[in-house]
Structure 1
C-alpha cells in the first residue's frame, strides 16, 4: 500500500480493537487452531483418548469459528462465548485431551474474557494517576482555621 501513510494504520487498528473483545476472541481462535494442529501431530505424540472421528475435528473448528465471530460480530459475544467454553470443554474428550491442555485453556480463558467484556465501560484509571489526582486535590484545598 504505497499510497497510504504507514502512521494511520496503528490508530485505526486500536480504534477497531477497542470496540470488541479482541483478546478473548483471539485466544479462543488460537485455542481452536492449536487443537486442530495437535490432531495432525506425529503418531508418537498423539494420545488416542475419546472419540477420534468427526467430533475431533468439528469441535476445534467450532472453537476457531466462535473466536472469529467474537472478533467480527461483537454484539453476539455472549452467545459465542458460551458456545466457545462448552466446545472447549468438550475437546477434553475428543481431541487429545484438549490439545494437550494448551488449547483447552486458551479456549476457556478466551471465552471468559469475551463473556466478561463490557463495551460501554470507561477505561480504568491507573493507580499512579489516582494518587496524583488525590495529591493535587489535597494541595489545592487551603487549610481552614
Structure 2
C-alpha cells in the first residue's frame, strides 16, 4: 500500500499547521539558522565583523528559539514575535549585517507574520471546494429555472 500512511499524515499536519502561525515561525527559525551559519563563514566572505563575542551567537540563537517556540506554543505568539523582531534587528550590528541582510529580513518578516496572525479566523476554503460548491448551486438552480419557465 504505497499511499496508505501518507493519506493520514497530510490532513493531520494541515490541522496542526492551521492552529498556529506556521509560516511566521518557520521564517523566524530559518532567519536565525541563516544568521548562525553566516557566523561560520570564512574571513574572505565576512563583511562586518561586529561584536563576535557572546552577542554574535546569542541573538541568532534567540531568533531560532523564538521561531521554534512560536511553532510549538502559539498561545504566547505576541511575546515571541516582539522579541523576535527586536533580536532580528539586533543581528545587524552583531552578526555580519544580519546574515548579509537575508537572515535579518527573514526574521523581521516572520515576526510580523506571527504578530498579525489571528487564531479565531475561519480557515480559508480552498479554490477546489469553492468550485464544487458553485457547480452544485448551478446544478440545483438549473431545474428550478426550467420549472419556472414552464409555468409562466
TM-score range for the pair, normalised by the shorter chain length: 0.7 to 0.9
Shift in Å, 1:125: 5.4
Moved more, 6-15 or 93-102: 6-15
CA distance in 1, matches of 2:42, 2:13: 38
Over the aligned positions, Cα root-mean-square deviation in angstroms equals 2.7
What per-residue deviation string (whole Å, max 9, x for no partner) do you get for residues 15-52 of structure 1? 11010000000000000000000000111101234212
Shift in Å, 1:7: 1.7
CA distance in 2, matches of 1:97, 1:42: 15
| Alignment partner, residue 69 of structure 1 | 69
| Alignment partner, residue 111 of structure 1 | 111
Shift in Å, 1:127: 8.9
Tell me the TM-score normalised to structure 1 length. Answer: 0.83
Which ranges of structure 2 fall in alignment gaps of 5 or more residues? none
1:126–1:8 distance in 2 versus 1, CA, 3 Å = closer
Moved more, 118-127 or 36-45: 118-127
Which ranges of structure 1 fall in alignment gaps of 5 or more residues? none
| Alignment partner, residue 102 of structure 2 | 102
| Alignment partner, residue 13 of structure 1 | 13
Q: Please tell me whether Structure 1 or Structure 2 has the larger radius of gyration of its CA atoms.
A: 2
| Alignment partner, residue 50 of structure 2 | 50
Shift in Å, 1:123: 2.8
Tell me the TM-score normalised to structure 2 length. Answer: 0.80
What per-residue deviation string (whole Å, max 9, x for no partner) do you get for residues 113-140 of structure 1? 011110110134579959x59x96xx98
